[in-house]
Amino acid sequence: MIPGVPATNFSARFTSSFVAAENGTITLQLEADDGYRLFINDQQVLNAWERNRWGARTYTLNMRQGTSYKITLEYWQGGGKADVRLTPGRFRKTDFTALANRLKDADVFIFAGGISPQLEGEEMPVEVPGFKGGDRTSILLPAVQTELMKALKATGKPVVFVMMTGSAIAIPWEDQNIPAILNAWYGGQSAGSAIADVLFGDYNPAGRLPVTFYKSDSDLPGFLNYDMTGRTYRYFKGEALYPFGYGLSYSTFRYDKLSVPSKVKSGKPVTVRVRVTNTGEMDGEEVAQLYVSHPGIPGKAPLRALKGFQRMPLKSGERRMLSFTLTPEMLSLINEEGTTYQPQGKLNIHAGGGQPGQGRTSSSNVLTKPVNVVK
């Protein structure tokens, strides 16, 4: 701290110089909160003065031995935390095999990867494989991370993949080869403690996916195609890598005693009851999910639709009877003319720890009962 200079709402200029000891390149990496500009020999090379939301930025300087270079950094800070850092260095491609061999005496590898807000976001100056201007051109995990995990796996030691992301990522190789995958999203300042609690068994995970994780880019229609066909769990006919609503637990849960009327009248509510039991050795939380489907409906209709869920803590061996109410609105569809109607005939009701008809093994089962809807 400098006496008389506040920690917020100030600006500063830092000036230095260095003499190149050899010919070659050096990379200057700059990050700050809030805005900054970098000048080399009074020529501006980086500018994040007004829009700084992309994380660290770099500039590569071509050096000539014996030449002196003047470096000027201008910085301003508004509210919040003052932070500015200029780091010189050289980028060198990592030898993954050598890295893995150097660490092979470890008991287990915990690899934290995925993507970050520095890669995905609106109007960002990002031009790397899989990204264009902040938009994603591929849902695959960046290939460099898969290559590193292959090298770690080759040591014969267990590998845990902690995946950071703000959107769905396709990880087909990791799914088949990494024994433990924890999706941590963008966890915030307490993410480290939360991840450690899950990995060491101090917390029994109970998260469920709010989006579908597909296997590859080919599972999705073109980016400019706005038709819902083939999109989201409601209209996707393929096999998802991790379905909407999916999540594992250190416990197991069993659903039984699904109770639904065999015949219901159109326009009347339907009561659904189901029993869930924690059949595992650990206390945990389960998320019971209720889906409906209308088989044989002409025109466009969801393959299945979530109509309710309940999250509940269950001690080991504990069981609980759950009740859901399906209103006429929840059992209705919208036709291509935009009119709401309630289909008659066969209606399937599904209750359990995930979607019906998914081949993915989870910590619980799913039950289905048909209902006949009449006038």
* Per-residue buried b or exposed e for 261-282, using 16+ beta carbons within 10 Å of the residue's own CB: eeebeeeeebebebbbbbbbee
Largest alpha-carbon pair distance within the chain? Answer: 91
Res. 208: pLDDT tops 60:
yes
CA distance 244 to 246: 6
Contact 305, 291 (CB under 8 A): yes
Domain count, the chain: 3
For the ranges 104-113, 116-125, 130-139, 317-326, which has the lowest average pLDDT?
116-125
Residues 132 and 29 in one domain: no
Residues 173 and 113 in one domain: yes
Residues 275 and 345 in one domain: yes
Q: Of 246, 256, 259, which Cα lies nearest the Cα of 278? A: 256
Work out the pLDDT band at 177, boundaries 50, 70, 90: very high
Same domain, 349 and 309: yes
In which residue are the tokens 């005496």 written? 105
pLDDT digits (tens, 9 = 90+) for 218-255: 998 887 778 888 899 999 999 999 999 999 999 999 99
Same domain, yes or no: 258 and 369: yes
Domain of residue 57, CATH code: 2.60.120.380
Lowest mean pLDDT among 49-63, 318-332, 340-354: 49-63
Boundary (domain end) residue, out of 37, 60, 89: 89
Residue 282 lies in a domain: yes
Residues in the chain: 375
Q: What is the pLDDT of residues 357-367, one digit of tens each?
A: 888 889 999 99
Type of residue found at 335? N
Residue ranges making up the domain that contains 59: 10-89
DSSP letter string, 180-211: EEEE--S--TTHHHHHHHHHTTSS------SS
Q: What is the CATH number of the domain that holds 332?
A: 2.60.40.10
